[in-house]
């Protein structure tokens, strides 16, 4: 049986395109990309794979999203609800 989960994170477009700031010289966009990658890696560690992903422009925000999939060995295992949308 396959389980699916959609994860998403909104980011402020103007902050993503700011020039490098702070002591490390990294832009806010680079920091956010690292946060998104870290979130995906967390789910990958739990057996999820990215089936599809992309971005959506929503006014002043850019929403990063990913459809995750994993195989569950027992059909009787019910999906646990968390802060992400599951289907």
Does the pTM of the predicted model rise above 0.75?
Answer: no
Render the burial of 53-81: b for 16+ CB within 10 Å, e for the rest.
Answer: eeeeeeeeebebebbbebeeeeeeeeeee
Per-residue model confidence (pLDDT) at position 66: 96
pLDDT digits (tens, 9 = 90+) for 20-67: 555 555 666 677 777 888 889 999 999 999 999 999 998 888 899 999
Tokens of 35: 């946060």
Per-residue model confidence (pLDDT) at position 22: 54
The least confident of 7-16, 20-29, 47-56, 70-79 is 20-29
Tokens 């999820």 identify what position? 48
């Amino acid at each position: 049986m396959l389980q699916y989960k959609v994860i998403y994170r909104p980011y402020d477009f103007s902050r993503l395109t700011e020039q490098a700031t702070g002591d490390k010289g990294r832009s806010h966009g680079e920091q956010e990309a690292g946060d998104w990658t870290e979130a995906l890696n967390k789910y990958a560690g739990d057996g999820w794979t990215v089936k599809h992903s992309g971005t959506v422009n929503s006014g002043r925000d850019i929403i990063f999203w990913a459809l995750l999939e994993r195989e569950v060995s027992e059909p009787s295992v019910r999906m646990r609800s968390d802060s992400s949308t599951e289907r």
